Amino acid sequence: MRKISDVVYAGLKTIQAQSMNDLCNVLRYTYVTGTYSDDEVEVITGSYSVPCGINMTGGSKVERGQLLLVEYDVTLRLPLTTTLDTNDRITLVEKGNHAVSGTFELYSSPQFNSSVQIAQLKRVET
């Protein structure tokens, strides 16, 4: 198999970035204990918006012609430059031109390929 040229690779990355026409917010959470208590408290230490590609699974996906039940609720495509931490929560803001909502956390470690990362998310009750 031939290696693709840098020009073709740059074009693929551009197309991948342009196809992320959804928007989500990444909320960075930290767990701290109080001065007078050993109870842990969630504290948001940062947040940022990032373009993404949202795919709601509805608890199932089709693979090789068969319907498979999955435990995650959303597949999210993100730019490679986005860093996710295991304590992060992702809120969906917009899918195309439509407002959406929901708060999710990572179900598994993101998968990386040459131009994008794909994260599986599980809905969090807020």
Q: What residue ranges do the domains of the chain occupy? A: 6-123
In the CATH scheme, what architecture does the domain 6-123 have? Answer: Beta Barrel (2.40)
Radius of gyration of the chain (CA): 17
Rounded Cα distance, 72 and 116, in Å: 19
This prediction's pTM: 0.75
Q: What tens digit of pLDDT does each residue of 9-61 get?
A: 777 767 666 677 899 999 998 888 877 777 887 888 888 999 998 888 888 88
pLDDT tens, residue by residue, 73-102: 999 999 888 889 888 999 999 988 888 889
Out of 66-70, 76-80, 94-98, 103-107, the most confident range is 103-107
The string over 83-99, giving b where at least 16 C-beta atoms fall within 10 Å of a residue's C-beta and e elsewhere, is ebeeebbbbbbbbeeee
